[in-house]
Amino acid sequence: MNATIVATLQQPIGDYFEQSHKASYVGTSYLLSACCFTPLYGRLSDIFRRKGAMLLALVLFITGTFLCAIATSMEALIGARVITGMGGGGLSTGTINWPACSQ
């Protein structure tokens, strides 16, 4: 949902920051960073165990989401979406293999 909701809000976000030509980067930055960091969480879960990797993903996701909320420019919003994607990549992989889901 986090990745797809931005697609419907591209035009209002671009209008708000008066930079409609950069609005597509808001969604692309999340998807690109999530795709890049998803494989890394496999190795991080080996090092920090699943709980540690999941906590890291949650901290990155929450921090990025907070930074999105307080962004004052389009560049800051795009950077915050990259951080959110870094956490989102771990959340998508961590929930699939979570022990409670296999029971």
pLDDT tens, position by position, 78-99: 999 999 999 999 888 765 555 5
Alpha-carbon separation of residue 38 from 25, 31, 69, 95 (angstroms): 19, 10, 24, 12
Cβ-contact 6, 80 below 8 angstroms: no
In the chain, helix, strand, coil percent, each to 5?
85, 0, 15
Q: State pLDDT tens for residues 20-77.
A: 888 889 889 999 999 999 999 888 888 888 889 999 999 999 999 999 999 999 999 9
Alpha-carbon separation of residue 27 from 42, 55, 79, 80 (angstroms): 24, 24, 11, 11
